[in-house]
A = this chain, B = another copy of it.
Amino acid sequence: MKKSITVINGDGIGPEVTAQAIKVLDAIAGHFHHEFNYTYCLMGADAIDKTGNPLPDETIESCLNTDAVLFGAIGHPKYDNDPSAKVRPEQGLLKLRKSLQLFANIRPINTYIALQHLSPLKAKYLENVDFIIFRELTGGIYFGKKELSEDGNRASDDCVYTTPEIERVAHLAFQYAQKRKKKLTLVDKANVLETSRLWRKIIQQIATAYKEVAVDYMFVDNASMQIILNPKQFDIILTENMFGDIISDEASVLTGSIGLLPSASVGIGTALFEPIHGSYPLVAGKDTANPIGSILSAAMMLDYFQMPEEAKLVRQAVDWTLENRFVTKDIDTINFYFTSTIGDLVAEYI
């Protein structure tokens, strides 16, 4: 098969981890006789530096005209610590999510026996942890009206949800639940928020169409405890944008390193694949970042291309590196391998 992929390296460690995912995709292409073509595009602080725009039009164009997007990471402290900056890197990613209508961010959370020693949690809490967080990605407080009064003393962010926005991501989550352990947990704050009550009402309605799926409802404050106290209770977690941002990063601690976790953002347009970690400018360019999150994001891309064998082989290769302790510095500060070496090893295995 022939597939075209837009590659957006982005900021910080984005370029070096993405390069490893490309190596792996190339190895897959070689082994299975596919052809993957890459178009490199700009976004984020990198794009601001080069063009003044966090998301140049050519990037959107390319994304819309290719089969998938592979993305690295975004963000730079020089914007974070300047609350009055007018242009910021994250605007690029948010606009891209909106332009491609990527309404669902899918983050699988599982644990590796070989890495249990790394997790702050005791081993017994990590057994059988295997859930997926479905985070709504194009609505809520991220995209509501933002205002700052003229005197700069009053700021607001509106959080809005509509029935269709909730329904589309909910159906996707229910469909996954049906194929898995048939359990779906809605995380909200329905005792306080009007938007959460709308979520709860819609999910109660949709649930009647998925009778085999057991649904439960959890307040976000409680969920933030349950993810640590009893993570194996979860199968599919469905939640709105802001809560999903928080609890999916929190859940990454179960795995032992955020550097390992991939995500897929899917919707109406082209799908986008990115590791859940950030841009970590402090270690950028050092060849020490963990490329596994990006490599596993490429595996999710292969699934999306309907290439299950290919995806499986990538995951096998990753497991093999972890079991043999071919790991980066975040996992073993003493006996570590470089980012590029891990990429080579995974590609060679394939």
Q: How far apart are A145's CB and chain B's nearest CB, in angstroms?
A: 9
Is A323 interfacial (CB-CB < 8 Å)?
Answer: no
Cβ-defined partner of A246 (8 Å) among B121, B144, B197, B224: B224
* Residues 165-206 (chain A) with a chain B CB within 8 angstroms: 189-195, 197-198, 200-201, 204
Please determine whether B204 and A228 come into contact, CB atoms closer than 8 angstroms. Answer: no
Is A148 interfacial (CB-CB < 8 Å)?
Answer: yes
Is A307 interfacial (CB-CB < 8 Å)?
Answer: no
Measured CB to CB, the nearest residue on chain B to A164 is B153
Please determine whether A80 and B217 come into contact, CB atoms closer than 8 angstroms. Answer: yes
Is A155 interfacial (CB-CB < 8 Å)?
Answer: yes
Please determine whether B147 and A154 come into contact, CB atoms closer than 8 angstroms. Answer: no
Q: How far apart are A159's CB and chain B's nearest CB, in angstroms?
A: 5
Is A253 interfacial (CB-CB < 8 Å)?
Answer: yes
Please determine whether B120 and A141 come into contact, CB atoms closer than 8 angstroms. Answer: no
Cβ-defined partner of A83 (8 Å) among B159, B197, B247: B197
Please determine whether B158 and A154 come into contact, CB atoms closer than 8 angstroms. Answer: no
Q: Which residues of B contact A303 (CB under 8 A)?
A: none
Total interface residues in chain A, CB < 8 Å: 66
Is A283 interfacial (CB-CB < 8 Å)?
Answer: no
Query: How many subunits of this chain does the assembly comprise?
Result: 2
Given A80-B191, A193-B141, A194-B146, A159 contacting B160 (CB threshold 8 A): no
Is A122 interfacial (CB-CB < 8 Å)?
Answer: yes
- Complex Cα–Cα for A194 and B121 (A): 35
Please determine whether B162 and A154 come into contact, CB atoms closer than 8 angstroms. Answer: yes
| Highest count of chain B CB atoms <10 Å: which of A94, A142, A156, A249 | A156
Is A222 interfacial (CB-CB < 8 Å)?
Answer: yes
Q: Which residues of B contact A189 (CB under 8 A)?
A: 242, 245
Q: Which residues of B contact A243 (CB under 8 A)?
A: 246
- Complex Cα–Cα for A153 and B75 (A): 35
Please determine whether A141 and B153 come into contact, CB atoms closer than 8 angstroms. Answer: no
Is A320 interfacial (CB-CB < 8 Å)?
Answer: no
Please determine whether B229 and A249 come into contact, CB atoms closer than 8 angstroms. Answer: no
Q: Which residues of B contact A156 (CB under 8 A)?
A: 144, 158-161, 194-195
Closest 4 CB pairs of A and B: A155-B198, A224-B250, A83-B197, A221-B249
Extra contacts besides A156-B161, A156-B194 (6): CB < 8 Å = A83-B201, A154-B162, A158-B158, A224-B246, A225-B252, A225-B253
